[in-house]
Chain A
Amino acid sequence: MADVLVIGGGMAGCIAALSARKRGAEVIVARRSLGATALSSGAIDVAPDPAAPPGDMKSQLVSPLLAAREVARTRPNHPYAILVDRLDRLKEALSFAAAQLPEVLDPPMGRNALLPTPLGTVKPAGMAQSSQSGADLASLPESIAVVQLSVNPSYDARIIAAGLERAASRLGRKLSARVVESGFFRDIEDALRGPYELAELLDRPGAIEEFARDLKLRLPPGIAALLLPPILGRRGKSLAPRLSQLLDCPCSEVLSSAPSVPGMRLQEALDAALGRAGVSILETGVECAQPGSGVFNLGGSGPIEPAAAILATGKFIGGGILRAQRFSEPVLDLPLFAGRRRAVDQYIGDLLAEKVEGEHQAFRVGVRIDADLRPLGPQGTPFDPRLFAAGSVISGYDPAADKTGLGVAIFTGYLAGEAAASLVLLARATSG
């Protein structure tokens, strides 16, 4: 019998489950499938400086905790703003996540790292995978090489190298990024393989050693760091440390776009952490037997009535928010909000900005929460005192564009897990 039911198994749901489990609750995670975490770049974007002019790299070299406070001050609907009284615990939440995922995540950094993306831009991230943090633009050595594979058309080292040099000059530092072509993938079928398959090929015994030998022959002299496509190993830990050892040169992965090997690595590390903590994962859809009853039907497992439930179903990719003719929340039919307005059956064009880079309210639609992370019902009061929400199902932020996506997921998941466990302990104390 579970004390806490977590609905959704991405970053927010897993951290909520681990947080509740740490405090002694019995937890079940019910998820239908993988979601946006497995598609993410693999780095943890906590908060950029919202006041930084576009392209200003220096302004982004701030503490992500300070930047989160600034986001809370300037954006009143953002989850950081709603939870502003507890924002001083953001670092604690990030450290908890890093401690739960030691095989992939580095501890939170004192300032945002500027990590290269496959689009030739750099992205501020408050925390990153061990294989990614070495690519921080502010700490890269002056002479680096970016590896180009003869396959994998979605990754172009020339674009990345040029983007890094441009960003470095904006940062006021010198950087020379050369492109090194690798001929490691030579099979005619390699040209048709996606990133997951290329990563699996590198996992084969002896493959990384052969890859290193190929690179060693091609590396020009004077290269002090190497950036590689995000395909360094599909299973478990990244092969970046091994490659660094073989080449005697620090090697890091560039961030990934979807399909994302580092994103999948992050999801699999979360699943492993749940297993270590003794949290059960059920791959099933969840239905609420009757809204407000606290009883949930889990696929074929029958109804359960947990002491607390956490809704961490994500937004459009995770399936936490649906939009067919109207916006809806499929598990409990909770009211949804776009900003302060109820999102019911608005024409979607009214919720989109004219420019692509503008602020699109449609992507911020979600459930509204109070300062205790309880979703609000139609009356503006908590829908159910035993229900909490975490991650991108919460309204007020766009996890893909705001650069606060996984940071909010970890922070709200951590606090929601804690709140759910408190209810469980209270119930136990009352019944005991």
Chain B
Amino acid sequence: MESIKKLKGDLYLAYRALIAHPLRRLFDTDERSGKQRFLDNYAPEGLVPMSAADRQILRAAARCIHCGLCDAFDRALSVIPRTVYDGASLLAISYSRATPDLPRARAALAELREDQLARSEAVCPTRVPLRSIVQYLKRKLDEVTGQQQRAVPRPIKARASWR
């Protein structure tokens, strides 16, 4: 019984790989590459591509040891309401973690100025580049916003990859 199930499974996979997929490629009118389709599907959700420079920034953010020293010298904390912005340490340990969540930090990033973080960056024991992280976050937020504005709603069936 088990071997028949396995045989059926293998045959189905062979059909998909050798017949269905090549035929779909042959008659598919969509000119986009696989990577482009991937981006078109996920960018509206906020998953935007990362460049090598972006990855460097994220690696630097990962050096944060959550000591909180930057918060003690964060000039922005006395300027921006706490319900909007909760301290420089969050730039490294929270805001930079996932681009889909960046729109939630829009109000904080709009009010945050890099010069307010100069002292916070100087006292960081592990040299997390807070000002560069702010630049990165603002840039990524613009990208995410742009992608979301460009996105044209498509029926679910049209987006499904198994059509």
Contacts and interface: CB of A to CB of B under 8 A. Distances in A.
B125 A192 contact: no
Interface stretch (A34-42, A58-66, A83-91, A299-307): A34-42
B77 interface: yes
Question: Which of B69, B81, B123 is the most central at the interface, judged by chain A CB atoms within 10 Å of its CB?
Answer: B69
Interface residues of B, number: 18
A36 B67 CA distance: 9
Interface string A12-52: 00000000000000000000111110110000000000000
Contacts of A33: 122-125, 127
Contact of B67 (A189, A193, A317): A317
A319 B72 contact: no
B122 A189 contact: no
A283 interface: yes
A204 to B, nearest CB: 12
Contact of B77 (A197, A259, A283): A197
Interface string B10-29: 00000000000000000000
B119 to A, nearest CB: 10
A71 B129 CA distance: 40
A8 to B, nearest CB: 11
B126 A34 contact: no
A259 B71 contact: yes
B125 A34 contact: yes
Contact of A39 (B69, B81, B86, B87): B69
Contacts of B81: 189
B83 A189 contact: yes
Interface in B96-141: 122-127
A385 interface: no
A193 B126 CA distance: 23
Given A192-B86, A259-B72, A283-B122, A39 B67 contact: yes
A264 interface: yes
B67 A319 contact: no
Given A34-B69, A197-B77, A317 B82 contact: no
Interface of B: 65, 67-69, 71-72, 77, 81-83, 86-87, 122-127
- 7 nearest interchain CB pairs? A259-B68, A196-B72, A189-B82, A192-B82, A34-B123, A317-B125, A258-B67
